[in-house]
Copies of this chain bind each other. A is one copy, B any other.
Amino acid sequence: MGSMYGRLFRVATFGESHGPAVGVIVEGAPAGMQLTAKHIQDELDKRRPGLNVYVSQRTEDDAVEILSGVVDERTIGSPIAMIVRNTGQRSGDYKDIAHLFRPGHADYTYFKKYGIAPQPGGGRASGRETVGRVAAGAIAKRILEEHLGAQVAAYTIQIGSVKAKEIHADYAGKHPLRCADPSCAEAMEAEVKRVAAAGDSIGGVVEIIATGVPAGLGDPVFEKLDALLAAALMSIGGVKGVEFGEGFGAVRMKGSEHNDQMGTTGFLSNHAGGILGGISTGQPIVMRTAVKPTASIAIHQKTIDVSGRSADISVKGRHDPCLCPRIAAVAEAMTAIVLADAWLVHNATTGIRK
């Protein structure tokens, strides 16, 4: 359970970090849309480690193969299956700790739920699972671009105590930490290096913005657009909070400050973050996620083994000291998936009112 998503734009992912492959089936993409392996690969490359000193040094080829649903670089309306073979896993890294529950990981809860011992690399709970999401997100992005001209971007706006003051989304795309503010990029890098040197890790904030989304997407009550987006972002491993527009900042605001007033040219502000009553307003959708510090750290911690005996653990291996840049890539994908689905649902009744 849990690996299938969507109402009309449907996604089913599979794969463990140390199994033969990871991948995804996507259905609901309109027929006749241009789609090549390169569209997918470009997005997958964004989540690839090994590009810099901040994210883990494991080499992943992540070469995607499209197995169905595309003929002559055009979608035909059938499910699009994509796989990426796992190569370069090193189970050896996990051998010494194979019977220990790693603190901050899903080892213990998977053991309680499925009765299985901790899997090398986390098995299904590995970040490797997000390959399928990003591949699906690449298709969702194609739909948003081609049919709506909408764009999704995610970037790091805080690491530890270092906060971005300005947002330059273009800059973020090129920066190894996806830092959105050139003026604090160096400080962020220093912070990450500092904790990494100590065998530790650090949290951060990733902001996601979707522009060009028309008014009217989303549905009342349980399928509010912000509810679906919150679930999608919270479903990314390491995310511990989600907020829209002013978010937790709205707590101290008065109605006269928070309400977005309107003029003849539209809204005069966007404190709501582009969604009112669960339906898009046509303004940019603005979200932020709280990212916890990476659970895998070299620093020694107390834990227990599968038999309940006390143990001491130090998680070796090539782990990112800060999850933000990887989460940004997945957050873009999840946002695009939710928006594509909401748009298809919206199409079902829009323009047919009598």
Contact = CB atoms under 8 A, between A and B. Distances in A.
Contacts of A304: 262-264
Contacts of A245: 240
A88 interface: no
A158 interface: yes
Between A30, A77, A282, the greatest number of chain B beta carbons within 10 A of the residue's beta carbon is seen for A77
A78 B123 contact: yes
A237 to B, nearest CB: 7
A250 B113 contact: no
Contact of A259 (B104, B257, B277): B104
Interface stretch (A9-17, A42-50, A55-63, A175-183): A9-17
Contact of A203 (B123, B252, B272, B346): B252
At the interface, is chain A mostly helix, strand, loop or mixed?
mixed
Contacts of A81: 14-15, 21, 23, 83
Interface string A106-118: 1011101111100
B125 A205 contact: no
B354 A32 contact: yes
Nearest to A346: B113
Given A241-B243, A261-B303, A349 B31 contact: yes
A174 to B, nearest CB: 23
A189 interface: no
Given A5-B222, A78-B14, A203-B252, A20 B68 contact: yes
Contact of A291 (B15, B205, B251, B275): B251
Nearest to A70: B19
B252 A161 contact: yes
B231 A241 contact: no
A262 B228 CA distance: 33
Nearest to A10: B4
Contact of A1 (B223, B258, B268): B223
Contacts of A205: 248, 251
Interface in A232-271: 232-235, 237, 240-264, 268
B27 A3 contact: yes
Nearest to A290: B248
A186 interface: no
A27, A123, A125, A292: residue with the most chain B Cβ atoms closer than 10 Å: A292
A13 B109 CA distance: 29
Contacts of A292: 246, 250, 253, 258
Contacts of A32: 114-116, 353-354
A14 B103 CA distance: 38
A251 B303 contact: no
16 contacts: A3-B221, A7-B7, A8-B348, A31-B349, A78-B124, A106-B276, A109-B279, A112-B279, A200-B256, A240-B244, A240-B250, A254-B293, A256-B299, A259-B295, A263-B304, A347-B349
A-B pairs, 7 with minimum CB distance: A106-B277, A2-B219, A241-B243, A109-B279, A2-B223, A231-B231, A201-B255
